Structure 1
Amino acid sequence: MTCDARYWGKPKTLTRRGSLLHYWVCGPNDAPLVVLTHGASMDHRLFDAQLGALLEAGYRVLGWDVRGHGYSKPIGSACRVPVVVEDLIAILDRLEASEVVVVGQSFGGYVSQELLFRYPDRVTAICVVGATDLTQLPSRLEYVALRLSPSLFRIWPDRHLRRLVADRTAETESAKRYAHAATCQLSKREFVAVWKAVATALHAEPGYVIDRPLLLVHGEHDATGTIARDAPSWADRVPNCRYEVIPNAGHNANQDNPEAFNRVLLEFLDLHAPTR
């Protein structure tokens, strides 16, 4: 199955735990499958600028809307990282994809890490964009603040919250417009539920180290949480890690500077999951 590199084409659907999941598959069936998982309150269009580059390089691409996001409505009975991972596994099983490269941005970075943690044999390599180490807890004060954040967002004025997300997510005006439109697809209840999934995602795993090739990326101006601060030490802990800071980019680094991001991603893929 192939699709035009300029758009994702017609989605496929899968119902799981009260949500009608939507996903898109493009590229040759016999090529390495690259799975793209977006961040909280975004959708599959976050990776529009990567789709053409990946297809041109010969990869098969899976994009999807995580439950509650984009077309994947309603949010269903539960929205937690382990549930989202099982959603993705169900899609991969339907595609008969036994081994994949996972690329995740922000919350999608947590989902990608959890997939690797729970199903290591199904992951060839991993790219994390704008996220922290899922298995390392921050300081006690930072952790308490993270766990309390959904309650804060619940009472935050809705219109201001959507604009704040867009302004803090991206550097370029086009990426900010996308982020605002994407987050407006979620109701306030859905937004809080998704953010609760972010706030409860971390789990301490002493001694655990990613044993697959890791591409760790964040934007030069990413001021979200402790991502930029903690990335260098995380990179040092992973034996086979490439760490890159994308210039002139914020939290949605792949959108703000797709040329630089795509170059780094394709170099990483060519080394660890080359096309034939």
Structure 2
Amino acid sequence: MTLPALTAVDFGGPEDAPLLVLGPSLGTSVAALWSNAARLLATRHRVIGFDLPGHGGSPPPVEAFTMADLAHAVDTIAMSYEAGPYHYAGVSAGGAVGLELLLDHEDRIATAALICTGAKIRTAEAWSERARNVRRNGTSAMTESARITWFSAGFPLRDPDTAAALLESLRETNAEGYAATCDALGQFDVRDRLTTIGGDVIAIAGAEDIATPPSSLLYLAEHIPRCDYLEIAQTAHLAPAEQPELIAQELLALTQRSPA
């Protein structure tokens, strides 16, 4: 099994600072989603991100992969920075990667923020249907539904540049990369393993998120032994884009509590 090829994005920060790895959501580039928050995080961390297969700067996949495969690939990127244990924060699919890191690479993860995600997201049938749609019609077929699920009411008017960059990253995403990530999410279900997770974790929900509603994040907080919960008002599925200052504040507080 060849690990999926992922491209790292360097957001800067002091080279000798603790490493913080950022994970994107399905259909987004890590830069479009995290850039505003990353600038704040880079005051105290060396910050890198990664793009999912066929997203942003990452090439399309050459074979099927699982969320555990993605976690292994992300850990390989982190190791290339010669870091010890590192901090991780991921949104949606990136949050699923975070759960796999906590489960399969626990000695490498100092803290984790699981944002707008879940131990199981939607049903396998729903993911299969979406993958078929995108393989047939391309990622532009997802644009209108993304406008509804990604943003809280009024956000595209408050920050039109960020909203436009996110939708453009969706349109530019390779169809097979998007569909293969859907396939991986359809297989993803770690609900029966959550109680084995150690370390300090925070589950962050958007109050207006209909893709991964607050109940999904509450489930994580109730089943992961050391997991705090935060629900952010007037926020939908892409919390780091809508609330970069608050997300950065919460992550810095978490990483200070358990330094790498």
Q: SS of the counterpart of 2:172?
A: coil
What is the TM-score of this pair, normalised by structure 2? Answer: 0.85
What is the TM-score of this pair, normalised by structure 1? Answer: 0.81
Taking the TM superposition and a 5 Å limit, the aligned residue runs for 1:90-239 are: 90-133=76-119, 142=123, 144-146=125-127, 148-155=129-136, 159-171=140-152, 172-173=155-156, 174=160, 175-206=162-193, 208-225=195-212, 227-239=213-225
- 2:37 pairs, out of 50, 69, 94, with 50
Q: Which has more helix, going by share of residues? A: 2
- After superposition, the C-alpha distances for 1:214-255 in whole angstroms (9 at most, x for unaligned) are 111011100114x32232233122232221111211100111
CA distance in 2, matches of 1:177, 1:195: 23
**For the Cα contact (< 8 Å) 2:55–2:178, is it kept in 1?**
no
Q: Which amino acid aligns with 2:53?
A: R
CA distance in 1, matches of 2:240, 2:13: 20
Distance verdict in 2 for CA 1:240–1:23, change over 3 Å: same
Q: Which amino acid aligns with 1:100?
A: Y
Q: Which amino acid aligns with 1:162?
A: T
Q: Which amino acid aligns with 2:17?
A: A
CA distance in 2, matches of 1:144, 1:254: 28
Q: CA deviation at 1:30?
A: 2.3
Identity of aligned residues (%): 21
Q: Which residue of 2 aligns with 1:89?
A: 75
Q: CA deviation at 1:122?
A: 0.3
CA distance in 2, matches of 1:143, 1:42: 21
Distance verdict in 2 for CA 1:206–1:26, change over 3 Å: closer
Q: CA deviation at 1:145?
A: 3.9
CA distance in 2, matches of 1:155, 1:74: 16
Distance verdict in 2 for CA 1:82–1:60, change over 3 Å: same
Distance verdict in 2 for CA 1:144–1:167, change over 3 Å: closer
CA distance in 2, matches of 1:233, 1:81: 19
- Mark the structure with the bigger radius of gyration: 1
Q: SS of the counterpart of 1:184?
A: helix
CA distance in 2, matches of 1:26, 1:80: 29
CA distance in 2, matches of 1:20, 1:85: 11
**For the Cα contact (< 8 Å) 2:139–2:174, is it kept in 1?**
no
**For the Cα contact (< 8 Å) 2:60–2:176, is it kept in 1?**
no
Q: SS of the counterpart of 2:192?
A: coil
- 2:247 pairs, out of 261, 268, 274, with 261
Distance verdict in 2 for CA 1:20–1:76, change over 3 Å: farther
Which 5+ residue runs of structure 2 have no aligned equivalent? none
Q: CA deviation at 1:77?
A: 2.8
Q: Which amino acid aligns with 2:146?
A: V
**For the Cα contact (< 8 Å) 1:130–1:218, is it kept in 2?**
yes
CA distance in 2, matches of 1:207, 1:216: 13
What is the aligned length? 252
Q: CA deviation at 1:127?
A: 0.3
Which deviates further from its counterpart, 200-209 or 178-187? 200-209
**For the Cα contact (< 8 Å) 2:116–2:209, is it kept in 1?**
yes
Q: SS of the counterpart of 1:221?
A: coil
Q: SS of the counterpart of 1:150?
A: helix
Q: CA deviation at 1:157?
A: 7.5
Q: CA deviation at 1:143?
A: 5.1
**For the Cα contact (< 8 Å) 1:68–1:76, is it kept in 2?**
no
Which 5+ residue runs of structure 1 have no aligned equivalent? 1-15
Say yes or no: does 1:250 pair with 2:236: yes
Distance verdict in 2 for CA 1:224–1:191, change over 3 Å: same
